[in-house]
Amino acid sequence: MALALCLQVLCSLCGWLSLYISFCHLNKHRSYEWSCRLVTFTHGVLSIGLSAYIGFIDGPWPFTHPGSPNTPLQVHVLCLTLGYFIFDLGWCIYFQSEGALMLAHHTLSILGIIMALVLGESGTEVNAVLFGSEITNPLLQMRWFLRETGHYHSFTGDVVDFLFVALFTGVRIGVGARLLFCEMISPTPKWFVKVGGVAMYAVSWCFMFNIWRFAWKKSIKKYHAWRSRWSEERQLKHNGRLKTH
């Protein structure tokens, strides 16, 4: 069983690495980070779809059955995601592209998935955490691509930012709090699984403070720009009336 899991994770790691190399060859005029973020975007979309299917259709429901035995589909998805996080953590360390908070997030994610796979249980709530963590990931990558291509300061950029902040606050913080509460009051999950859940939620709050600070600064900047534009338009109208008189 352990050998089969290791092989699945190794295949996943090789798959993500191969995809990254392919993107690098297809985008030779772009940076390595461009190709890495394409891999991240692909994983985000794929993991959202798979984890949503597990949570909402295949089951069991994470809010009522935390700590339940892993299903075969959960194991496959966790192995797929574990290979990705190992790849991305290695890339971030090699290129020194991320700070301590993102590295801590990746490390906790890797440890949490390994723990669920070794125990053979709690894949239900780990899968739910995966869904909540990845649901904002495609939007985060879209923000970066918009900025790199010079299209960030546009209506599309504003929509992406709004959706990112709204989803992060509503799902990762709001729904995440409910999931953590269900995890903590349930007698089924191991105590160290609960500790891991608290640690992941604490990391989410650290991200949330940074996101709210960014959203506040951007809102103030947009407000001042609107006030300035409104004052200019008012001044132009006033000058126009003076000239007609």
**What confidence score (pLDDT) does residue 232 get?**
65
The Cα 130–Cα 125 span in angstroms is: 8
Q: What is the mean pLDDT of the chain?
A: 90
The residue written with tokens 């640690």 in the block is 199
Q: How many residues does the chain have?
A: 245
Among 68-82, 210-224, 230-244, the range scoring the smallest mean pLDDT is 230-244
Which helix (H) or strand (E) segment holds residue 135: the answer is none
DSSP state of 170: I
- pLDDT reading at 124 higher than 60: yes
CA dihedral 123, 128, 129, 132 (to 10 degrees): 160
235 pLDDT band (50/70/90 cuts)?
A: low
DSSP state of 29: T
The Cα 54–Cα 71 span in angstroms is: 9
Helix, strand, coil content of the chain in percent (nearest 5): 85, 0, 15
pLDDT tens figures, 200-211: 999 999 999 999
2 pLDDT band (50/70/90 cuts)?
A: confident
DSSP 53-122: HIIIIIS--TTT-TTPBPPHHHHHHHHHHHHHHHHHHHHHHHHT-S-HHHHHHHHHHHHHHHHHHHHTB-
The Cα 61–Cα 50 span in angstroms is: 14
The Cα 53–Cα 138 span in angstroms is: 18
- pLDDT reading at 230 higher than 80: no
- pLDDT reading at 97 higher than 80: yes
**pTM (2 d.p.):** 0.87
Residues 39/26, Cβ–Cβ less than 8 Å: no
